[in-house]
């Protein structure tokens, strides 16, 4: 498995391309991601969104038009793809697969798993491919996602962090912003954030 990433747009949102056996999965193509993605894929099979915020889904529409691949997005955030609730001018896109809660899929032989971690958004999820967890805006290196936005919930964030602490694995974490980290490292940091929830 090969992972390429680029921080895209004004918010430095990480877009990822995961390559396995000559096939590519695109994760969170945000603002200004389209040209970079098109230069770096040969056999794309899907676009995955960790959540619906505009800086993670902006290039969905343009890439679907060019690549004709399905979008997988959390069901509870699909309204953000379709309705631009933050009035940012986000190009409208639609999930072909609305992911409900924790769900697993096999996409052209590639196994992926969505873990539902609401709080930052209602549908906020992390996506596991192999031993790589693409955490969107749920967990960052030494930090957690904001929960003071419209549609955010501090109570749900607390519950999601409690769920995160129960995972017994040694995964590398690739967040929606900033540098990578590990699950075990962030599990050590999580108790600190309970002081603010």
CB–CB of 134/16 below 8 Å?
A: yes
Tokens of 4: 């390429």
In the chain, % of residues over pLDDT 70? 100
Q: pLDDT band for 64, please (50, 70, 90 cuts).
A: very high
Q: How confident is the model at residue 29 (pLDDT cuts 50, 70, 90)?
A: very high
- Distance from C-alpha of 58 to C-alpha of 78, rounded to nearest angstrom: 13
Q: What is the pLDDT of residues 95-142, one digit of tens each?
A: 999 999 999 999 999 999 999 999 999 999 999 999 999 999 999 999
Name the architecture of domain 2-196: 4-Layer Sandwich (3.60)
Domains of the chain, by residue range, sit at 2-196
CB 71 within 8 A of CB 93: yes
Instruction: State the number of CA atoms in the 13 A half-sphere of 109 facing the CB.
Output: 8
- DSSP letters, 8-52, are ETTTTEEEEEEEETTEEEEE---TT-HHHHHHH-SSEEEEE-SS-
CA distance 52 to 72: 11
Pairing between β-strand 71-74 and β-strand 44-48 as defined by DSSP bridges = parallel
User: What element of type H or E holds 72?
Assistant: strand 71-74
Give the pLDDT confidence of 143-166 residue by residue, as tens digits.
999 999 999 999 999 999 999 999
pLDDT tens readout for residues 177-194: 999 999 999 999 999 999
């Amino acid at each position: 498995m090969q992972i390429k990433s680029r921080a895209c747009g004004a918010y430095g949102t990480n877009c990822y391309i995961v390559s396995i056996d000559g096939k590519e999965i695109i994760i969170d193509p945000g603002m200004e991601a389209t040209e970079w993605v098109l230069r770096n894929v040969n056999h794309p099979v899907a676009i995955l969104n960790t959540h619906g915020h505009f800086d993670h889904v902006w290039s969905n529409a343009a890439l679907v038009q060019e690549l004709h691949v399905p979008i997988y997005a959390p069901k509870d955030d699909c309204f953000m793809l379709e309705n631009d609730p933050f009035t940012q001018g986000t190009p409208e896109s639609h999930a072909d697969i609305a992911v409900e809660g924790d769900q697993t899929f096999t996409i052209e032989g590639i196994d992926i798993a969505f873990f539902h971690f609401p709080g930052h958004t209602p549908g906020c999820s992390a996506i596991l491919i192999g031993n790589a967890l693409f955490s969107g805006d749920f967990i960052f290196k030494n930090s957690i996602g904001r929960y003071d936005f419209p549609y955010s919930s501090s109570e749900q964030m607390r519950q999601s962090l409690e769920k995160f602490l129960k995972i017994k694995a040694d995964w590398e974490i690739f967040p929606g912003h900033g540098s990578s980290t590990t699950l075990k490292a962030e599990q050590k940091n999580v108790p600190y954030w309970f002081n603010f929830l």
